């Protein structure tokens, strides 16, 4: 009984850790935005892309991450997500210009798009039904806590160190998480349906386009372009839904 409880506790801790990292990074950069803008001598609009690239990537690649985990193993893909996220954090920390930082944030977003759904899938499939509801509640609460802690922690790090350290802190956590996950998380596989390339491309284009349109709709200079992109992306999304039903 005690061994089962210890196992369940570790599963909750390790899955929540990945979720916490991915959620915190969506907010922690906002408090470092001024320092990044001054360091790179860029405009607010250019900086906005570094902030949005992460969330756009997560929304675009999320379903693909789920499909990979179901086909090749949830723990394996979860660990790959942490690895990619950690590499992305290193790239963010060593970036020397805004273009490279945006690219690095996209890499981070790819990792986070895998970590978030896989952490929930592992938790749901590894715990007994009677423990599942409480565990998912804790998991969700930790994600909410990350959104609160992120800005405060980011502000503290920027005040005491440099903005690069908001990314460096992810590296040791990511390495420890991968090591412990390999040892303590159970492996599981879901549906083995083939991943369709066209479906993946459509959902990436549709999700990214809609979020970009919503981000730029308030810009006077790009308003009409944003509306156009939004309409096209919505039509592509409807095409994706039609293909899923047919």
Quick one: what percent of the chain has pLDDT higher than 90? 15
Q: For the chain, how many helices (H) and strands (E)?
A: 10, 0
**pLDDT given at position 81:** 92
Give the phi and the psi of residue 34 in degrees, each rounded to 5: -65, -45
Integer Cα distance of 150 and 83 in angstroms: 21
Token code pair at residue 125: 């499939």
Integer Cα distance of 130 and 207 in angstroms: 36
Integer Cα distance of 195 and 70 in angstroms: 10
Integer Cα distance of 183 and 177 in angstroms: 10
Instruction: Output the CA–CA distances (angstroms, integers) from residue 225 to 100, 231, 235, in the order listed.
Output: 25, 10, 16
**pLDDT given at position 54:** 86
In this model, does residue 84 exceed pLDDT 60?
A: yes
CATH superfamily, region 2-193: MFS general substrate transporter like domains (1.20.1250.20)
Integer Cα distance of 112 and 62 in angstroms: 9
The answer to whether 104 touches 95, Cβ cutoff 8 Å, is: yes
For 165, residues 6+ apart whose C-beta sits below 8 A from its C-beta are 93, 157
Mean pLDDT, to the nearest integer, of 154-163?
Answer: 84
Token code pair at residue 173: 């956590």
In this model, does residue 41 exceed pLDDT 80?
A: yes
Q: Which of 50-59, 74-83, 114-123 has the lowest mean pLDDT?
A: 50-59
Q: Residue 2: which pLDDT band, with cuts at 50, 70 and 90? A: low
Q: Residue 94: which pLDDT band, with cuts at 50, 70 and 90? A: very high
Total-model pTM: 0.84
**pLDDT given at position 124:** 82
Query: Could you tell me which of 243, 215, 202, 228 has the C-alpha nearest to residue 61?
Result: 202
Token code pair at residue 5: 């409880």
Integer Cα distance of 142 and 20 in angstroms: 6
Higher model confidence: residue 41 or residue 245? Answer: 41
Residue 184 CA, distance from chain mean position? 22
For 168, residues 6+ apart whose C-beta sits below 8 A from its C-beta are 89, 90, 93
**pLDDT given at position 220:** 61
Integer Cα distance of 177 and 181 in angstroms: 6
Q: Residue 146: which pLDDT band, with cuts at 50, 70 and 90? A: confident
Query: Could you tell me which of 243, 213, 217, 207 has the C-alpha nearest to residue 230?
Result: 213
């Amino acid at each position: 009984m005690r061994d089962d409880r210890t196992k369940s506790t570790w599963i909750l801790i390790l899955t929540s850790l990945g979720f916490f990292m991915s959620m915190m990074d969506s907010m922690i950069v906002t408090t470092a935005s001024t320092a990044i803008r001054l360091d790179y001598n860029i405009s607010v609009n250019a900086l906005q892309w570094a902030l949005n690239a992460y969330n756009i990537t997560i929304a675009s690649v999320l379903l693909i991450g789920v499909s990979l985990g179901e086909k090749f193993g949830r723990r394996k893909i979860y660990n790959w997500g942490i690895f990619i996220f950690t590499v992305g954090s290193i790239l963010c920390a060593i970036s020397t210009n805004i273009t490279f930082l945006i690219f690095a944030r996209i890499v981070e977003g790819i990792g986070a798009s895998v970590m978030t759904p896989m952490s929930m899938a592992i938790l749901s499939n590894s715990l007994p039904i009677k423990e599942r509801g409480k565990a998912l509640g804790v998991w969700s609460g930790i994600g909410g806590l990350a959104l609160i802690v992120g800005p405060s922690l980011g502000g503290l790090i920027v005040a005491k160190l440099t903005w690069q350290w908001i990314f460096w802190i992810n590296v040791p956590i990511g390495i420890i998480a991968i090591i412990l996950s390999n040892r303590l998380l159970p492996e599981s596989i879901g549906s083995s349906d083939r991943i369709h390339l066209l479906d993946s491309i459509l959902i990436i284009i549709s999700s990214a386009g809609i979020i970009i349109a919503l981000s730029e709709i308030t810009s006077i200079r790009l308003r009409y372009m944003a509306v156009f992109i939004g309409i096209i992306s919505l039509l592509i999304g409807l095409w994706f839904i039609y293909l899923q039903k047919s």
